[in-house]
Structure 1
Amino acid sequence: MQLSVRSETGLLKSVIVHTPGKEVSLVNPELKDELLFDDIIFESDARKEHLDMLKVFEAAMPKNGTIHEITDLFEEALSAEDARGYFIEQLIKQLPQENLKAIEQDLFRLSATELLRFVIDGATPSIPEFNMHPTPNLLFTRDLSAVINDSILLSQPAKKARMREAILMDTLIKFHPLFDNIRKNTISITKQESIEGGDVLVASDKVVLIGMSERTSFSGLMNATKGLLDQGVEHVLAVDIPKQRSSMHLDTIFTFASPTECVAFPPAITERQNNVVALRSQNGSIISESMPSLKQALEELLERDLTFINCGGANRTNQFREQWTDGANVFAIAPGIIVGYERNTNTFNELKEHGYRLMNQYEFIEEYKDALFDPADKKIAISFLGHELCRGRGGARCMTMPIARKS
């Protein structure tokens, strides 16, 4: 399959996810803050909620659509001796605080499966006296990279807790055949910078948004911008957002529902002014232009009117409550076909006011599981249960890495 993503809302053809496993059960209350979680997660319920979300995807995707579990891809990549050697070398080099050099030969003796479980869970019976913290954030595959047109932007995490995921993703892109057609177009930044996929939104093949957030540094944004402009993107909109836990990435406060509609958290998006800079290339230099608002910048560059739909509706308290539980973090399966957590009832009611048909996961699956889903001329907001998943502070978009959409 040709990997390519030219918008946030094109029909989903291929996506990478991670259904939570043992690693989330290894997070104890004393470690949760260090591991970037606000609460502990009950694994079995979180798994069921995640698998139910994937059933919605399966009902909506074309027959040749593919959902890849990222651990399967990792294991396939690590089965090659050169990939395993590169991966272990990078672990030792980039995680000096873990003292992995002391067990280097033990790591080489592990099978691909054992090595992967060791890195994700932080321990393996094959090396009984050595352990690390688990990597529960693997659930949020969005942050590891972003396919943009025919390029792939490799993330560089801001927090040490996510460094092993980044090394895994780097190895995956370098060695797995899934990325053969796009590998030469990898955009990387240095280890001194940071950028994460939750801050990257593909408005069109010519316009990309990057949030300057708690997790994406100014230098990371600028170097990613240079790579994107060099590979054909015409404008990058740098969006300055509050540097705080509740809005850790741009997609926690702003996402696309259709080519002309977005879900936005008003205090951080529609009520903000002069926080957007349009960046473009001219004669080998990056030229910047301050824009009065995100809406005006998008409408000018996309050459179409946009409707911003309030996360949480009109009530201020509801806006803050539902942004906290990822009401603004919807994921488009197709233009105007979106999924989000059921608990954000005021956001869904606001979508209904804008012409969306509301369906829960069971209704949607029942209606379309045995029929080819045609998204044309439809607007559907699909709710799914996420009472455990949302404890990790991420919604449907956070838990998905699209690698192919219909242009």
Structure 2
Amino acid sequence: MPINVTSEIKPLKKVLLHRPGRELLNLTPDTLEELLFDDIPFLEDAQKEHDNFAKVLRENGVEVVYLEDLMAETLDQNPDLRPQFIKQFIEEGGISTSKYKRVLFDFFDAIKDNKELVLKTMEGVNLKELNVDKANSLVDLVSETSVMVLAPMPNLYFTRDPFASVGNGVVLNKMYSKTRNRETIYADYIFKYHKDYKGQVEFLYDRKNPDHIEGGDVLNLNDKVLAVGISQRTEADAISRLAKNIFYKSGSKIRTILAFDIPESRAFMHLDTVFTQIDYDKFTVHPAILGTLRVFEITPSDDEDEVNIKEMEDTLEHILEKYLERDIELILCGGGDEIVAAREQWNDGSNTLCVKPGTIVVYKRNTVTNKILKEKGLNVIEIHGAELVRGRGGPRCMSMPLARED
């Protein structure tokens, strides 16, 4: 199967990345909040850091594929889809006037190379790039030429979020912010029409559903147990809908979903920013969530309109031990020191990518947490991420596994 992910730690065989592109050049101080950034990364260095990340993965036996390449290949293989894709992208970009729909369609359609087209949709379009007749248009006459007609998508290098690989299927997400909603268009086309995926991928969630869910909140504990965070960006209603789809409408083997209720905050935006598995029996965890974390067990009901939900009255270690059937050790970010943990969690000290059991990719800057992980016997692969981290995401956020070994 082209998608096969039943674990967070089994040897990683294939992963989807997006190399940061010119979309970062369209970030400005005035648009940071809207575009979910805290600062503006330096593109040249961000690309060098990301290229090194990809190099490290390849050196560890992982096949790296890029979102922009798969989408371009999809259009190359299906030329009739190109007009449909352009029109859909323009409409979902919030363009409502027939004039701008026409102008933007002509602008994109004039780009003959499909990869160049895909990259341009990611980059965004400003008014000065378009051949617009401003006569009789008050909006055009008073608008600055630098105004973005279609907003950029700078969060795309966090490929973890638009969808999640679960077993042999994908959870195609409805994103928390309208800024990121268009990101899921690419995966929708790839999994429906790319020759390597068409007809072989089960959709466990639909991007058109009303409830928000993002991939950073989805963790595969094993082939029968899925963990999903109730967070700033994933709603409880979405988890209930996902559970019903998995239990009653799919071929998935998952029979239990654990819903982790974490505090809603920018720092804890997803479950994987505070909690990741790094070995058979080890997890990293941000100590600040331990006192407030609630875990709910969701299982199938006799009524397919309902699910059984039970709050787990136990410690996180015991809950994980029950479902993984082994002793579990929680390794505290920053060693549990309140100041160090807050600083290093902000820089994604708990957001690790496991490439095989006990081998993890982390940001080098989280020195205290990394030292502890090494002392615990982990093989810690450190990468630089001074620019990448400005988007508030670590190695797990920047990668979507497509296949892990069984």
Q: SS where residue 209 of structure 1 aligns?
A: strand
Q: SS where residue 287 of structure 1 aligns?
A: strand
Match of 1:279 in 2: 298
Match of 1:152 in 2: 170
1:256 pairs with 2:277: yes
Matches within 5 A, 1:179-198: 179-180=197-198, 182-188=200-206, 190-198=208-216
Q: SS where residue 334 of structure 2 aligns?
A: coil
TM norm structure 2: 0.88
Match of 2:369 in 1: 347
- CA positional deviation for 1:166: 1.4
- In structure 2, what is the Cα distance between the partners aligned to 1:105 and 1:246? 38
Q: Aligned letter for 2:276?
A: T
Aligned CA distance change for structure 1 residues 266 and 181 (closer, same or farther; 3 Å): farther
Q: Aligned letter for 1:240?
A: D
Match of 1:226 in 2: 244
Aligned CA distance change for structure 1 residues 126 and 267 (closer, same or farther; 3 Å): closer
Identity of aligned residues (%): 36
- In structure 2, what is the Cα distance between the partners aligned to 1:344 and 1:74? 34
1:290 pairs, out of 292, 311, 320, with 311
Quick check: 1:279–1:289 contact (8 Å CA) kept in 2?
Answer: yes
Match of 2:381 in 1: 382
- In structure 1, what is the Cα distance between the partners aligned to 2:149 and 2:336? 49
Q: SS where residue 150 of structure 2 aligns?
A: coil
Out of 193-202 and 87-96, give the one that drifted further.
87-96
2:66 pairs, out of 64, 69, 84, with 69
Out of 387-396 and 161-170, give the one that drifted further.
161-170
- In structure 2, what is the Cα distance between the partners aligned to 1:391 and 1:5? 29
Q: Aligned letter for 2:25?
A: S
- In structure 2, what is the Cα distance between the partners aligned to 1:297 and 1:303? 10
Q: SS where residue 398 of structure 1 aligns?
A: coil
Out of 191-200 and 249-258, give the one that drifted further.
191-200
- CA positional deviation for 1:282: 2.4
- In the alignment, structure 2 segments of 5+ residues that lack a partner are 133-147
When Rg is computed on C-alpha atoms for both structures, the one with the higher figure is 2
1:17 pairs with 2:14: no
- CA positional deviation for 1:84: 2.1
- In structure 2, what is the Cα distance between the partners aligned to 1:117 and 1:383? 29
Matches within 5 A, 1:72-221: 72-79=69-76, 80-97=78-95, 99=97, 101-103=101-103, 105-106=105-106, 107-111=108-112, 112-123=114-125, 127-129=130-132, 131-180=149-198, 182-188=200-206, 190-221=208-239
Q: SS where residue 51 of structure 2 aligns?
A: helix
Match of 1:45 in 2: 45
Quick check: 2:172–2:203 contact (8 Å CA) kept in 1?
Answer: no
- In structure 2, what is the Cα distance between the partners aligned to 1:258 and 1:181? 33
- In structure 2, what is the Cα distance between the partners aligned to 1:333 and 1:138? 21
Quick check: 2:3–2:201 contact (8 Å CA) kept in 1?
Answer: no
Out of 74-83 and 92-101, give the one that drifted further.
92-101
Q: Aligned letter for 2:84?
A: Y
2:257 pairs, out of 225, 231, 236, with 236
Per-residue CA shift, 1:24-80, capped at 9, x if unaligned? Answer: 12211111111101100001111111111111111111xxx4200111111111232
Pairwise CA RMSD? 2.0
- CA positional deviation for 1:113: 3.4
- CA positional deviation for 1:305: 1.5
Match of 2:400 in 1: 401
- In structure 1, what is the Cα distance between the partners aligned to 2:35 and 2:273? 19
Q: SS where residue 338 of structure 1 aligns?
A: strand
Q: SS where residue 244 of structure 2 aligns?
A: helix
Q: SS where residue 77 of structure 1 aligns?
A: helix
- In the alignment, structure 1 segments of 5+ residues that lack a partner are 357-379
- In structure 1, what is the Cα distance between the partners aligned to 2:48 and 2:258? 37
- CA positional deviation for 1:315: 1.2
1:7 pairs with 2:4: no
Q: Aligned letter for 2:41?
A: I
Per-residue CA shift, 1:111-166, capped at 9, x if unaligned? Answer: 32343133111128974457322111011000011111111110111101112211
Out of 155-164 and 172-181, give the one that drifted further.
172-181
Q: Aligned letter for 1:277?
A: F
Quick check: 1:151–1:187 contact (8 Å CA) kept in 2?
Answer: no
- In structure 2, what is the Cα distance between the partners aligned to 1:271 and 1:160? 32
- CA positional deviation for 1:172: 1.7
- In structure 2, what is the Cα distance between the partners aligned to 1:259 and 1:316? 27
Quick check: 1:123–1:131 contact (8 Å CA) kept in 2?
Answer: yes
- In structure 2, what is the Cα distance between the partners aligned to 1:335 and 1:202? 14
Q: Aligned letter for 1:165?
A: E
Q: Aligned letter for 1:260?
A: D
- CA positional deviation for 1:314: 2.7
- In structure 2, what is the Cα distance between the partners aligned to 1:96 and 1:251? 30
Match of 2:144 in 1: none
Out of 293-302 and 320-329, give the one that drifted further.
293-302
